[in-house]
Amino acid sequence: MGGESVGDGIPDAAGDTVELMYRPVAADFTAALRARHKVGRLGWLQRWAPYVVGVGFVAWAALFVARGESPPVGWTVGLLLALAVLLSPWLSGRQLQRLSDAQGVFRATVTEDGLTLANDTSSSSLTWAALPRYLETPRLFVLLSADPNATGFTVLPKHGLPDRASADRLRGILDRNITRC
């Protein structure tokens, strides 16, 4: 019966397939990197360090100003470094988007067995063992490797789905096969 339930024409869960076609944009990668920070072992540091350092440097500079002195140049460098860390997901997202532009349109096929990705220059197939967990954001699904810092990840943007029902079917496949973070 080719994965269809008898009589209703709707694929059963065991034979479900979801296909996506998309061209990644910088916002997809930025959202994926920010989501990855939520599960990575050092993610809390990457999220909070810029704020802590920034507040510390502002307080330090305020002490100099209160004493009528000008703060050393080093504090400006520190603030710029804190800002760079804060903006790193956005900057990295733009870089990743530029790299993906050369690969053309992405096509992803998600089944109970795993994920197949193809674009104009390459293709690969992954079993769920390679990406055993995932996160969902309002704009995408982020499939994550098992290592503590989620070094490897795959982005499946919702704008690549043909319709809203496909997001529910994709979520169902992921929930049956890997762990939601």
54/73 Cα distance (integer angstroms): 15
Give pLDDT, residue 43: 60
- At 21, the pLDDT band (50, 70, 90 cuts) reads very high
* Structure confidence at residue 60 (pLDDT): 74
61-109: pLDDT as tens digits: 777 778 777 767 666 676 677 677 667 676 666 776 676 667 789 999 9
Q: Considering the entire predicted model, what is its pTM?
A: 0.68
Instruction: Identify which of 152, 176, 181 has the alpha carbon closest to the alpha carbon of residue 18.
Output: 176
Whole-number average pLDDT of the chain: 80
Q: Predicted confidence band at 3 (pLDDT cuts at 50, 70, 90)?
A: very low
Q: Are strands 179-180 and 133-136 parallel, antiparallel or unpaired?
A: parallel
Residue 4 has pLDDT above 70, yes or no: no
Q: Where does the pLDDT of residue 30 fall: very low under 50, low under 70, confident under 90, or very high at 90 and above?
A: confident
Residues 97-137: tens digit of each pLDDT: 676 667 789 999 999 999 999 999 999 999 999 999 999 99
Q: Report pLDDT for 74.
A: 67
pLDDT over 50 at 178, yes or no = yes
